[in-house]
Structure 1
Amino acid sequence: MLARYEEQARDALARGAYDFIATGAGEEISQHDAVDSWRRYRLRPHVLRDVGDVDTATTLLGIELPAPIVVAPTAYHVLATPDGEVETARGVRAAGGLMTVPTRSSVAHEDVAAALGGAWWFQVYVSRDRDITRRMVADAKSLGARALVLTGDTPFVGQRPRGMTPPLTAEQFLMCFQKYLGADSELMYATSIDPTVGLDAIAWLHAESGLPVVVKGVVRGDDASACIEAGAAAVIVSNHGGRQLDRTLASADALPDVVAAVSGRAPVLVDGGIRSGIDTLIALSLGADAVLLGRPVLWAAAAEGAAGVERLLRSLRDELAAAMALAGVARVSQLSADLVARRV
């Protein structure tokens, strides 16, 4: 299904829109590794286990989910579908899922929150103008956000050989910032990411919002541990879809080290290259509490709108349930590392 959606999206989208979504940094080695790294694992299923009632449900930071699958933050959904993030939100809501609404949304955050109609997370870049971030976070909380996802791997935007600039109107590009920019605001300064952000941003965001802060972009165990000690409620193992620093370790390869370092102190999530229920099973077996989907959601939205997003999420959930049953596991909590082996 995912391959078909990407083919449909490639055919449907303008070249510039497709390239912006699809491209990776540098030689795109990390981007290609993302998918291949999960395929290096093999399964060691149990036999003669009761799997008559397989349940994929889980609870993540107090939010009950039908499966440990979350929609990752990706910018400018209007590149994929005319109603942008609102269309994606409709599909997520229909599937009973959890969406991470991006800071750089091409639709007003108020409209996305209304379309979701329930629990959601808000992704945060800390701007050079901290007041913009402060006000944006306050608005997200008032609109019902249940957690903040601090993207920690982007002090600067990575260099990409194609699709570097999204083909957007000025209004679409600045939609998420317009209400926060004063008459005297220096646009590039106000909206650019602050490269001096450190671990203290975790406590600052929590103090400003009262919301749990999840740090995204972690590929090292020592960094994950430092984030937890600084107050992070969870970490997301991610290399930003291979869009930042090329040749960064694939998420599948980074996950075990992060899980070991966190040692149960907080949930560990992972994104990057998840393309099937079996990929999800492997990630959960390696210690992830949930996976996130980025590009596949945009391909589904481009191909079939909200219906495609709903179908994608339900299909992945069904694939996970089938894989769990065949692996001899009835509950997500029963998944463990002895179910998988990595091919050398």
Structure 2
Amino acid sequence: MIEQEKEKKMINDSRRGFLKSAAIGSALVVGAEMSPIAAAFADEIPKVTYTGGYKAGTAVQELELLDLVEIEQRAAKVIPKGGFGYIAGGAGDEWTLRENRAAFERKQITPRVLTGKGAVDLRAEILGISIASPIIVCPMGGQGLAHVTAEAGMAMGAAAGNTIMALSTVSTLSMEQVAAAAGGPKWFQLYLQTDDGVNRDLLRRAKAAGYKAIVLTVDSTATGNREADARNNFTFPLPFGNLVGKGSGGNIHALNASFAQKIDAKAIEFVLTESGLPVIVKGISSPDDALLAIRAGASAIQISNHGGRQLDGSPATFTVLPAVAKAVDRKVPIILDSGIRRGQDVFKALASGADIVGLGRPAYYGLALGGWKGVHSVLKFLNRELSMVMQLAGAQTVEDIKRTNLA
């Protein structure tokens, strides 16, 4: 009874005041996998409407996980082929996609077993926000491709895991709908548009909706050659909720054409001025770019190669991390994404200069397989694995990890 009351309170908190719209129904298909308490609140979860016969996941359930690698193939059975290719695929020959994983294998953690340190403490903080662990959820577009609850489900899972969710400009649901669907801290990711009026509107809406920072993505002035999309003749079966009425619809080609093809330090200053929020510059691989961003007013740097989806042949984020961290010299926090699948990866990233890591595709797959509960399951699993690694490596806190030397 006590556990049911706790679950009821958590669901109430995470769904407070959800904004319904004409495009989003109020009923979610409820199956046997949902708990009675979750089912009682199902009318508050949005259900997106697809075109062309597209059918994404509907289950809301906790997941049994052995690792966050095999979850991809499980998700492939739930997400339609075109959508899965869009999510899982990389650019070109996908060398960078593979290298993001392989780079972690070239560094080792030396166990420390006589430190006398006890139970670990995963808690972390970034830009004044306290979170359960140094793991946040990256911005990822079109989450309705994975599950009928789309970004509302992702936001609920992140809130249940007491961490930050970053919402993409090209989300299925609007930023206002996602903000109202779940509690917990959120950042808004901006793909800078050619029309400054659109940019200004997006930034002001994000601040009004309660987003705590802007993640300015700077590595998307052109779109990588994602061959899976061409092979699958993929078109989005859903609109982009933040850009309705701006000529984008669900047409990814029209959307890409609207992205700014030139981004410099002035863009960072523009975002700062128009939003009045901290700006995280995402898509950094070069120490010089990191320093340019900081001089322009960036509050944090996100080392990212878009999960291997942009410039194939570019180095893994973990490979460039030490050089960027040395240049940044703790002036601002560093977030690293792309390739995180293991607690060991998180540990190695923090030991090499990152302050926080961003989780991408595994959270997407968790959403596909189990809705918000699936996302929460993925976060819990990665936190458990990180906790185990820390215990065996002799690191009691996140700060201890940062003082660790890798072999």
Q: TM-score, normalised by structure 1?
A: 0.93
- 1:174 aligns with 240
Q: 1:189-247 deviations in whole A, cap 9, x for unaligned?
A: 89711112211111111111110100011111111111111111010111111111101
Shift of 1:336: 3.3
Contact kept in structure 1, 2:156 and 2:183, CA below 8 Å:
no
When you count strand as a share of all residues, which structure comes out higher?
Answer: 1
Residue among 75, 81, 86 paired with 2:147: 81
Amino acid at match of 1:228: I
Residue in structure 2 matched with residue 107 of structure 1 by the alignment? 173
- Displacement of 1:181 in angstroms is 6.1
Q: Which runs of 5+ in 1 are unaligned?
A: none
> Do structure 1's residue 129 and structure 2's residue 211 form an aligned pair?
no
Q: Give the aligned partner of residue 333 of structure 1.
A: 399
- Show structure 2 runs of 5+ residues with no match: 1-66
State whether structure 2 residue 177 is matched by structure 1 residue 118. Answer: no
Higher relative contact order, chain-length normalized (CA < 8 Å, sep 6+): 1
Are the structure 2 counterparts of residues 337 and 30 from structure 1 closer, same or farther at C-alpha, using a change threshold of 3 Å? farther
Instruction: Give the aligned CA root-mean-square deviation in angstroms.
Output: 1.8
Write the letter of the residue equivalent to 2:220.
Answer: T
Partner SS for 2:292:
helix
Q: 1:251 aligns with which of 317, 323, 336?
A: 317
Equivalent of 2:124 in 58, 67, 71 = 58
Count of aligned positions: 335
**Partner secondary structure for residue 298 of structure 2:** coil
Structure 1 match to 2:305: 239
Q: 1:14 to 1:189 in 2, by over 3 A?
A: closer
Report how far residue 112 of structure 1 moved: 0.9
User: Matched residues in 1 for 2:206 and 2:75: separation?
Assistant: 30
2:381 match: 315
Alignment partner of 2:70: what SS?
Answer: helix
More helix per residue:
1
* Secondary structure of 1:325's aligned partner: helix
- Corresponding residue to 2:276 among 210, 213, 233: 210
Aligned CA distance change for structure 1 residues 190 and 325 (closer, same or farther; 3 Å)? closer
Q: What code does the residue aligned with 1:52 have? A: G
SS in 2 for 1:162: helix
Cα distance, 1:110 vs structure 2:
1.2
2:229 alignment partner, SS class: coil
State the partner residue of 2:353.
Answer: 287
SS at match of 1:70: strand
Amino acid at match of 1:9: A
Q: Which residue matches 2:293?
A: 227
Over the matched positions of the two proteins, sequence identity in percent amounts to: 36
- Please list the CA deviations of residues 9-39 of structure 1 after superposition, one character each: whole Å capped at 9, or x if unmatched: 1111111011010111011100011111111
Question: 1:33-89 CA distances to partner (integer Å, 9 max, x unpaired)?
Answer: 111111111112323113323101011001000101010111100111112111111
- How far residue 339 of structure 1 moved from its aligned partner, in angstroms, is 2.8
- Over residues 270-292 of structure 1, what are the superposed CA-to-partner deviations in whole Å (9 max), with x where a residue is unaligned? 00101011110000000100000
Runs of 4+ in 1 over 2 A off after TM superposition: 164-169, 172-175, 179-182, 187-191, 336-339
Superposition TM-score, scaled by structure 2 size: 0.79
